[in-house]
A and B are shown apart, each in its own frame.
Chain A
Amino acid sequence: MEIERFLFEIIPYILEGIPVTLQLTIYSFALGLILGALLAAARVLARGPLSVISRVYIEFFRGTPLLVQIFFVYFGLPAIGIKLDAFTASVLAIGFNSAAYQAEIIRAAIKGIPEEQFLSAESLGMTTGQMYRFIVFPQAIRIATPALVNEFVALVKYTSLASIIGVAELFRKAEYMVAFTFRPEIYLFAAAIYLAICIPTSQLSKILEAKYAIPGYRRALV
């Protein structure tokens, strides 16, 4: 393979997959965060059916393969009249899956706050809403940040599964090029791009932790 062809055809073609990979990651992470927060709230605050539904949801999505979930959304839902394009189906499936993990992260963060904080807020006459807004959320988000950043980094890699239903993201584009050129070292190049995205993102956790650290809180969170 001539170097020119590699530099000016193959690389640009694969790099076009980066925005798609990032969009898949960001959309599914956001969906997972919103849904995960609701699921966590249902588990922490609600009793009875809501709490049970949340638990079942979390167990189901953590206990079955993400690939199966993607297939189910893309190939299964059309059977009941819901037809989605591959990108949307991937965002939904990865987002639904991530919601289960993010719910557990948020729930653990809330459980990590000492009981006295809740009782103090109550004893000062706060409503449940005020307690969560002023006392619980600001502390929980700090506890959860490293794990949420971890989850984000995991999603960057999981989005490569969307290639299987034909989303033209980073890995799919690399696959095309390997098929064209029979040069499997292109996979190495794709892996390097994932690394280049994931390593700085992991560092983001440290930056966020330092920026929003509670003064006097010296114990490392990770």
Chain B
Amino acid sequence: MSDVLLTVRDLRAGYNDTEVLKGVSLTANRGEKIVIVGPSGSGKSTLLKCIPLLIKPWAGEIILEGTIVTHEPDNLRKIRSKIGFVFQQYTLFPHMTLLRNVALPLEISKGIQRREAEQKALSVLTRLGLGGLASKYPLELSGGQQQRGAIARALAIDPVLLLLDEPTSALDPELRYEVVETLYEIAKEGRSMMIVTHEIDFAEAAADRVVFIDDGIIVEEGDARQVLEHPKKDRTERFLRRLRAGMRK
């Protein structure tokens, strides 16, 4: 039996009166790499943000390692510090160096002493090829370096699950490459990941599973290659065709 890491059950969420997620259920196994695709406004980013309760769902359950996240408001901080999150942009804190960005969460959430936290931060940065930039401030770095720094910060807390919300979408095409490279490296390490992205090549090469979301529901999910190459639903096929056409432009 596979080891279930995360269960999302009948999740509903939205903003004001608009329902964005209309009942989404999903299971992620430990070590699994899931790519979520879908048109903009389909609810994929909302789904990702609901997992650490950055958005409070209207209904449904989120279960991480057997703990019902949605029922544990007192343990929320502890649960959140087990999940790494990388946003499209503005993830790093601009007023502190890259090293401090990575070390601060270790000090705050894990209670590690500053010296030790900074040593660990530096080793994570070095592993991602950012060691030489540790003393730089985020806005002194390129967009690609910033996103890799954000990934380093998310990894430093040693999360059981890494969530990435369109980590390359705000970047110029020539800067995406280095971020995708980093994603490949992390994928190889065997960490559980859920990533919302339009990087179809990455999904094909590195994902175990692809989930296609449209209009707040999961239209299709399954083995990455099967969904991407032989989608069963018309909606999936149409979306992928449009996405690939856009990429070639």
Tell me, in angstroms, the Cα distance from A214 to B97 when the chains sit together.
10
Which of the candidate stretches B21-29, B104-112, B188-196, B200-208 sits at the interface with the other chain? B104-112
Given contacts A125-B108, A215-B140, A216-B138, contact A116 B89 (CB under 8 A): yes
Is the CB of A114 closer than 8 A to any CB of chain B? yes
Tell me, in angstroms, the Cα distance from A123 to B83 when the chains sit together.
7
Chain A: which residue is nearest B94 at the CB level? A214
Tell me, in angstroms, the Cα distance from A125 to B76 when the chains sit together.
8
B140 close to A117 (CB less than 8 A): no
Is the CB of A8 closer than 8 A to any CB of chain B? no
B49 contacts which chain A residues (CB < 8 A)?
A: 119
Is the CB of B139 closer than 8 A to any CB of chain A? yes
Which B residues from 71 to 97 make CB contacts under 8 A with A? 77-78, 80-81, 83-85, 87-95
* Most chain A CB atoms below 10 A, which of B49, B84, B93, B157: B93
* Shortest distance between the CB of B6 and any CB in chain A (Å): 15
Query: Could you tell me the dominant secondary structure of chain A's interface residues?
Result: helix
* Total of A-B residue pairs, C-beta within 8 Å: 79
* Shortest distance between the CB of B210 and any CB in chain A (Å): 24
* Shortest distance between the CB of B172 and any CB in chain A (Å): 17
A120 contacts which chain B residues (CB < 8 A)?
A: 85, 87, 90-93
A117 close to B138 (CB less than 8 A): no
B95 close to A125 (CB less than 8 A): no
Is the CB of B52 closer than 8 A to any CB of chain A? yes
Is the CB of B137 closer than 8 A to any CB of chain A? yes
A122 contacts which chain B residues (CB < 8 A)?
A: 52, 54, 80
Tell me, in angstroms, the Cα distance from A115 to B92 when the chains sit together.
12
Which B residues from 122 to 161 make CB contacts under 8 A with A? 136-141, 153, 157
B95 close to A142 (CB less than 8 A): yes
Given contacts A119-B54, A130-B108, contact A216 B157 (CB under 8 A): no
B87 close to A215 (CB less than 8 A): no
Chain A: which residue is nearest B84 at the CB level? A123
Chain A: which residue is nearest B85 at the CB level? A123
Which of the candidate stretches A39-47, A84-92, A133-141 sits at the interface with the other chain? A133-141
Task: Fill in one digit per residue for A175-209: 1 if any B CB lies within 8 Å of its CB, else 0.
Answer: 00000000000000000000000000000000000
* Shortest distance between the CB of B149 and any CB in chain A (Å): 12
Given contacts A114-B89, A135-B93, 13 further A-B contacts (CB under 8 A): A114-B90, A119-B49, A119-B85, A121-B93, A125-B157, A126-B77, A134-B108, A139-B93, A139-B94, A139-B95, A214-B94, A214-B137, A215-B136
What are 10 contact pairs spanning A and B, CB under 8 A?
A116-B91, A120-B85, A123-B54, A123-B85, A124-B81, A124-B108, A124-B153, A215-B136, A216-B136, A217-B139
